[in-house]
A and B are shown apart, each in its own frame.
Chain A
Amino acid sequence: MRRIALTVNGVRREAEVEPRLLLVYFLRESLGLTGTNVGCDTSSCGACTVLMDGKSVKSCTVLAVQADGAEITTIEGLASDGQLHPLQEAFRKHHGLQCGYCTPGMIMAGLGLIESGAGMGDEEVRLGLEGNLCRCTGYQNIVEAIQDAAGQMRQATPAGAQGGSE
């Protein structure tokens, strides 16, 4: 067992974990944060995507011990005071979800993409989401939701707009 300490959604967490424990199961089963889903066993689907130190990672491909000292944001950490995050709002407005299972990972991947300052053209967003699979929506509404939210978020915080195309 190894002792780890990390920050999850702004809360400091310490735990004894098996070295083989994946971050996604640490989040889901040790912390009860079941919003992050598991959709495959080959790191193909991206349903388990979370932010680790601000970058999107597939939490099925990260060991819990690798997250020692890191700052993790999961889908549960986005809405605050009952207000949806602009990206969550955009997913709702653009009908970017149906069954909802890929949605937490898709939103975290989209957030990582927006915050990386990537361009927000159709092709750029689609390529940026390459690691996240959705079987329900056909992606178009997801792409539009991310573009819409990026516009709002970058307007709200111009500092985050570097590198983004209009």
Chain B
Amino acid sequence: MTQVAESEAKRWVGGGVLRKEDPELLTGQGRYVDDIALPGMLWLAFVRSPVARADIASIDTAAAKELPGVRAVFTGQELAEEWAAAMPCAWPIADRTMPDEPSADARIPDHWPVAKDRVNFMGEIVAVVVADSREQAADAIEAVEVDYDELPVVTDMMEAITGSAPVIHDSLGTNKAYTWLLTNGDVDKVFAEAPVVVKERYYHPRLIPNAIEPRGVVVQPIPAQGEYTIWSATQIPHILKVLLALTLNISEGKVRVVAPDVGGGFGSKLNVYAEECVALAVARRLGVPVKWTEERSEGYLATIHGRDVIQDMEVAATEEGKTLGFRVKLYADFGAYMQLVTPGIPILGAWLYHGVYEGLAYSFEANGVFTNKTPTDAYRGAGRPEATYAVERVMDALARRVGKDPAEIREMNFIPPFDEAREVLCGLSFDSGNYHATLEKAKQLVGYDRLRSEQQANDGRRNGKLLGVGISTYIEMCGLAPSQILAAVKYGAGGWEAATIRCHPTGKVTVITGTSPHGQGHETTWSQITADALGVDPDDVDVLHGDTAVSALGMDSYGSRSASVGAEALYQAAEKIRAKARTIAAHELEVAEEDLEWKDGKFQVTGAPDRAKTIPEVAFSAWTAHALPAEVEPGLEATAVFDPPNFTFPSGAHICVVEVDPETGSTRIDKYVAVDDCGTVINPMIVDGQVMGGVAQGISEALYEEALYDENGTLLTGNMSTYRVPSAAELPGFTLDRESTPSTTNHLGIKGIGEAGTIASPPAVLNAVADALRYVGVEFIDLPASAERVWRAVQEAAGRAPAERVAEGGGTGAASMTPEEEGGTA
């Protein structure tokens, strides 16, 4: 393995080790689900509802069945007996309007893989065609005749919860999924007495995740045994196995799920999807292998969306801007059904609406709402980007209100540096952090003071453009998750992770992890950790993942959990290996165990370093078992399952510098600086890659992306040419740096980095755009700050404000603005 940093040759963790995954992916030898072809395999294609809400009056499949190559067509009624249960929602959040009050049952509508009699969003499956080829299946869905009796549609989440809106799910009697409250301190009193209260309303648009690999599934049945192997483009093979077994009533031991190479996920493959259930059901019904590959435009309807949240955010403060309280009331558009963790997404942000700031009172209220749209669920950051956006935007609004610089308002309110877990305003304990250090470093890197001087000197102009600087000092809650906390918030599973280390007599080591990477490079980083822990070379470590037949225990990859939970499990498995190896080594060296020290990657006799045993040597002894100490079993293998005692809380400071063209509304990012604290870094190259990719996604969210529906529930941004996924041409380069306060949640000190960039960047960009637009009198701008939206805001401000107002603006914290809440809640 190539080690970039020569000086760290003996310590692999922290080194820029090149990725083990790359050679196959660079040569076209990656094996994704769509690359799989099995003998006798049939293709599936889905008939999907073209309308957002309707009763299915009739389905005529006769013509489709006559087409060449078509083997079968099944409707929802015809597949109904396949399901032991409706599709699973693992996070059934119920009303909780008083803190700690036992709640009623969650309102979860039945969601069948194929609609039985009613459809509730455009794209919902109404029938499946099975044919010899991809093309024949695609042709045949056109021949299935469905009569829809259209029903009134609900597309606006605020209208959905007024009395006049039609109720989407009759059985629930309401479109409100829940109201869920969390408070700390005397919120009403703090807000009533605070000299300054700033309130803004933010809308976080609906987003389409766009992993570049579309979803897909292949199922191979062994009918005589009732066994099934399922290859799926999924982040969660282990969870999928359990839930498919339950949904289709198959003995779990007869279900094997394989996540082969998976082409990105970002949460969109963190689900149990209708197509996976149907593929398994059809394979069972017909007894032959089946395959489905999602088309991109199909995926825009069928794969979960993200965000779509309205947030009323308030901060209470002193005249000087010292924060006293944070209060948010949010409305989340869940779409038509609860997917796997839909209800939990806002709750993942529940503890983060005070950010990295101090205060006396805290209130979080989430309202989940059903509409006739594609369900929303986890999209990179899941709940935490929304929280971070609201907090970091409102802090800028507070800065403007009290006439302070955005950096200063943050610095005066930061939780002071700490390296032991400490309780914070929301009631959780943050693991460690130094928010001053990351902001200071980011300010230095971007030349913050110089930029502010430039703005002041030139009335916010630079080459005819408006210069804006935006800060985001974010915090996220990662390392999902302590199982007891999950229990308290009604999550239906644990948050532990497992790892097995098998030391072979040949000196090679196999690591089996329950995490399921899809681009994150676990094969490389897990090898680095194992190499350090066992004194072997990373090239002698093979990391296996993503196959439930190989990795029995696992909770998979999402929520920036893999390193902070999964790598810690690996570390603990290595500790077990070393403990057993120490016993064997001491026996062979004829010394007491206490006389051995682990040094330079081997057990050495204290004071006689020439007398030593390596792990490979012990592994061979343990395998031959010729002379093991009494009561020591042959073999050198260990499994550890780690249930984290707390979350981890990565943090950092991102600063974005923009130039906004007031004539066209377009925004160019001049510089983007990210200083992140993810605790211990296993592989800086991979960490930087995660940050850059995350920031790119966040910038895209900030400037470009928005899924739009019309009033009939038709997705207007229905394909990749109408929903803008930016290319290299639209995105900037990044300047990255780090601080490290090791996490106190795990031995390795890891906090996680998978979502940080996406969480941090949208408010940095929007604060920068808003900062620039102050100079032309724009009081408020929200996501996405597209050229059109910015242009309209500039025009509106110009029409409303006289020209001289533009001249008198300028300077950071210009106090001439109208109170922020008017701009926000209008």
Could you tell me the distance between the alpha carbons of A13 and B161 in the complex, rounded to whole angstroms? 62
Whether A135 lies near B264 (C-beta < 8 A) is: yes
Whether A88 lies near B27 (C-beta < 8 A) is: yes
Whether A132 lies near B719 (C-beta < 8 A) is: no
Tell me if B689 counts as interface (CB < 8 A to partner A).
Answer: yes
- Distance between B710 CB and nearest chain A CB, rounded to angstroms: 20
Tell me if B725 counts as interface (CB < 8 A to partner A).
Answer: yes
- Distance between A56 CB and nearest chain B CB, rounded to angstroms: 14
Assuming the contacts A103-B26, A104-B28, asked whether A39 and B214 have C-beta atoms less than 8 A apart, the reply is: yes
Tell me if A11 counts as interface (CB < 8 A to partner B).
Answer: no
Interface string of A66-97 (1 = CB under 8 A from B): 00000000111011000010001001110101
Whether B519 lies near A136 (C-beta < 8 A) is: yes
Assuming the contacts A37-B32, A129-B728, A141-B692, asked whether A45 and B686 have C-beta atoms less than 8 A apart, the reply is: no
Whether A137 lies near B692 (C-beta < 8 A) is: yes
Tell me if A138 counts as interface (CB < 8 A to partner B).
Answer: yes
Interface string of B729-751 (1 = CB under 8 A from A): 10101100000000000000000
Could you tell me the distance between the alpha carbons of A127 and B729 in the complex, rounded to whole angstroms? 5
Whether A136 lies near B693 (C-beta < 8 A) is: yes
Tell me if B670 counts as interface (CB < 8 A to partner A).
Answer: no
Could you tell me the distance between the alpha carbons of A53 and B520 in the complex, rounded to whole angstroms? 35
Nearest neighbor of B696 in chain A, beta-carbon distance: A138
Nearest neighbor of B263 in chain A, beta-carbon distance: A101
Residue of B32, B264, B295, B734 with most chain A CB atoms under a 10 A cut-off: B264
Whether A130 lies near B729 (C-beta < 8 A) is: yes
Whether A92 lies near B264 (C-beta < 8 A) is: no
Could you tell me the distance between the alpha carbons of A59 and B19 in the complex, rounded to whole angstroms? 29
How many of chain B's residues have a CB under 8 angstroms from any CB in A? Answer: 59
Nearest neighbor of B725 in chain A, beta-carbon distance: A133
Tell me if B21 counts as interface (CB < 8 A to partner A).
Answer: yes
Tell me if A41 counts as interface (CB < 8 A to partner B).
Answer: yes
Whether A135 lies near B733 (C-beta < 8 A) is: no
Whether B212 lies near A101 (C-beta < 8 A) is: yes
Whether B733 lies near A44 (C-beta < 8 A) is: no
Whether B25 lies near A78 (C-beta < 8 A) is: no
Q: Which residues of the partner chain A approach B23 to less than 8 Å between Cβ atoms?
A: 84, 92
Whether B28 lies near A74 (C-beta < 8 A) is: yes
- Distance between A17 CB and nearest chain B CB, rounded to angstroms: 12
**Which one, B27, B28, B297, B693, contacts A98 given CB within 8 A?**
B693
Assuming the contacts A76-B28, A92-B18, A135-B212, asked whether A99 and B689 have C-beta atoms less than 8 A apart, the reply is: no
Q: Which residues of the partner chain A approach B519 to less than 8 Å between Cβ atoms?
A: 98-100, 136
Within A34-59, the residues touching B (CB, 8 Å) are 34-45, 47
- Distance between A83 CB and nearest chain B CB, rounded to angstroms: 11
Tell me if A126 counts as interface (CB < 8 A to partner B).
Answer: yes
Assuming the contacts A91-B22, A129-B727, asked whether A99 and B696 have C-beta atoms less than 8 A apart, the reply is: no
Q: Which residues of the partner chain B approach A135 to less than 8 Å between Cβ atoms?
A: 210-212, 264, 266, 693, 697, 725
Whether A45 lies near B28 (C-beta < 8 A) is: no
Could you tell me the distance between the alpha carbons of A29 and B296 in the complex, rounded to whole angstroms? 19
**Which one, B19, B26, B213, B293, contacts A101 given CB within 8 A?**
B213
Q: Which residues of the partner chain B approach A104 to less than 8 Å between Cβ atoms?
A: 28
Could you tell me the distance between the alpha carbons of A35 and B721 in the complex, rounded to whole angstroms? 24
Tell me if B262 counts as interface (CB < 8 A to partner A).
Answer: yes
Q: Which residues of the partner chain A approach B815 to less than 8 Å between Cβ atoms?
A: none
Could you tell me the distance between the alpha carbons of A141 and B688 in the complex, rounded to whole angstroms? 10
Whether A39 lies near B296 (C-beta < 8 A) is: yes
Tell me if B7 counts as interface (CB < 8 A to partner A).
Answer: no
Could you tell me the distance between the alpha carbons of A83 and B720 in the complex, rounded to whole angstroms? 36
Could you tell me the distance between the alpha carbons of A43 and B212 in the complex, rounded to whole angstroms? 13
Whether A76 lies near B213 (C-beta < 8 A) is: no
Could you tell me the distance between the alpha carbons of A31 and B211 in the complex, rounded to whole angstroms? 26
Tell me if A107 counts as interface (CB < 8 A to partner B).
Answer: yes
- Distance between B669 CB and nearest chain A CB, rounded to angstroms: 12
Tell me if A5 counts as interface (CB < 8 A to partner B).
Answer: no
Could you tell me the distance between the alpha carbons of A126 and B730 in the complex, rounded to whole angstroms? 8
Tell me if B354 counts as interface (CB < 8 A to partner A).
Answer: no
Q: Which residues of the partner chain B approach A125 to less than 8 Å between Cβ atoms?
A: 728
Whether A138 lies near B261 (C-beta < 8 A) is: no
Could you tell me the distance between the alpha carbons of A71 and B263 in the complex, rounded to whole angstroms? 28
Q: Which residues of the partner chain A approach B293 to less than 8 Å between Cβ atoms?
A: 38
Q: Which residues of the partner chain A approach B734 to less than 8 Å between Cβ atoms?
A: 138, 140
Nearest neighbor of B684 in chain A, beta-carbon distance: A95
**Which one, B25, B214, B721, B731, contacts A139 given CB within 8 A?**
B731
Could you tell me the distance between the alpha carbons of A134 and B35 in the complex, rounded to whole angstroms? 20
Whether B720 lies near A107 (C-beta < 8 A) is: no
Whether B725 lies near A44 (C-beta < 8 A) is: yes
Tell me if B685 counts as interface (CB < 8 A to partner A).
Answer: yes
Whether A134 lies near B19 (C-beta < 8 A) is: no
Residue of B25, B35, B521, B688 with most chain A CB atoms under a 10 A cut-off: B25
Assuming the contacts A99-B518, A101-B264, asked whether A35 and B28 have C-beta atoms less than 8 A apart, the reply is: yes
Interface string of B510-550 (1 = CB under 8 A from A): 00000000111100000000000000000000000000000
**Which one, A95, A131, A133, contacts B685 given CB within 8 A?**
A95
Whether A76 lies near B27 (C-beta < 8 A) is: yes
Tell me if A142 counts as interface (CB < 8 A to partner B).
Answer: yes
Tell me if B695 counts as interface (CB < 8 A to partner A).
Answer: yes
**Which one, B263, B686, B719, contacts A37 given CB within 8 A?**
B263
Q: Which residues of the partner chain A approach B19 to less than 8 Å between Cβ atoms?
A: 92, 95
**Which one, B21, B28, B726, B757, contacts A33 given CB within 8 A?**
B28
Tell me if A111 counts as interface (CB < 8 A to partner B).
Answer: no
Q: Which residues of the partner chain A approach B688 to less than 8 Å between Cβ atoms?
A: 95
Q: Which residues of the partner chain A approach B18 to less than 8 Å between Cβ atoms?
A: 92-93
- Distance between A32 CB and nearest chain B CB, rounded to angstroms: 8
Q: Which residues of the partner chain B approach A126 to less than 8 Å between Cβ atoms?
A: 727-729, 731
Q: Which residues of the partner chain B approach A95 to less than 8 Å between Cβ atoms?
A: 19, 685-686, 688-689
Nearest neighbor of A123 in chain B, beta-carbon distance: B729
Tell me if B171 counts as interface (CB < 8 A to partner A).
Answer: no
Whether B212 lies near A130 (C-beta < 8 A) is: no
Q: Which residues of the partner chain B approach A75 to less than 8 Å between Cβ atoms?
A: 26-28
Whether B720 lies near A44 (C-beta < 8 A) is: yes
Q: Which residues of the partner chain B approach A131 to less than 8 Å between Cβ atoms?
A: 727
Could you tell me the distance between the alpha carbons of A115 and B261 in the complex, rounded to whole angstroms? 30
Whether A138 lies near B695 (C-beta < 8 A) is: yes
Interface string of A12-40 (1 = CB under 8 A from B): 00000010100001001100011111111
Whether A44 lies near B721 (C-beta < 8 A) is: yes
Q: Which residues of the partner chain B approach A132 to less than 8 Å between Cβ atoms?
A: 727-728
- Distance between A134 CB and nearest chain B CB, rounded to angstroms: 7
**Which one, B26, B518, B520, B719, contacts A91 given CB within 8 A?**
B26
Tell me if B29 counts as interface (CB < 8 A to partner A).
Answer: yes
Could you tell me the distance between the alpha carbons of A132 and B728 in the complex, rounded to whole angstroms? 8
Residue of B262, B296, B297, B686 with most chain A CB atoms under a 10 A cut-off: B296
Q: Which residues of the partner chain A approach B297 to less than 8 Å between Cβ atoms?
A: 40-42
**Which one, A29, A39, A79, A138, contacts B692 given CB within 8 A?**
A138
Q: Which residues of the partner chain A approach B295 to less than 8 Å between Cβ atoms?
A: 41
Assuming the contacts A39-B213, A136-B693, A141-B689, asked whether A97 and B22 have C-beta atoms less than 8 A apart, the reply is: yes
Q: Which residues of the partner chain B approach A139 to less than 8 Å between Cβ atoms?
A: 696, 727-728, 731
Whether B685 lies near A40 (C-beta < 8 A) is: no
Could you tell me the distance between the alpha carbons of A138 and B761 in the complex, rounded to whole angstroms? 13
Could you tell me the distance between the alpha carbons of A129 and B727 in the complex, rounded to whole angstroms? 7
Whether A99 lies near B733 (C-beta < 8 A) is: no
Nearest neighbor of B724 in chain A, beta-carbon distance: A44
Within B258-280, the residues touching A (CB, 8 Å) are 261-264, 266
Tell me if B634 counts as interface (CB < 8 A to partner A).
Answer: no
Q: Which residues of the partner chain B approach A99 to less than 8 Å between Cβ atoms?
A: 25, 211-213, 261-264, 518-519
Kindly list the 8 A-B residue pairs having the minimum CB-CB distance in the complex, ordered from nearest. Answer: A35-B28, A101-B263, A100-B25, A99-B519, A138-B696, A138-B692, A98-B519, A44-B720
Can you report 6 residue pairs joining A to B where beta carbons are below 8 Å apart?
Answer: A34-B28, A35-B29, A129-B728, A129-B729, A131-B727, A143-B728
**Which residues of A are interface residues toward B (Cβ below 8 A)?**
18, 20, 25, 28-29, 33-45, 47, 74-76, 78-79, 84, 88, 91-93, 95, 97-104, 107, 122, 125-127, 129-143
Please give 11 more A-B residue pairs, beta carbons under 8 A apart, in addition to A20-B135, A35-B28.
A44-B721, A84-B23, A92-B18, A92-B23, A101-B211, A125-B728, A126-B731, A134-B212, A135-B693, A138-B689, A140-B692
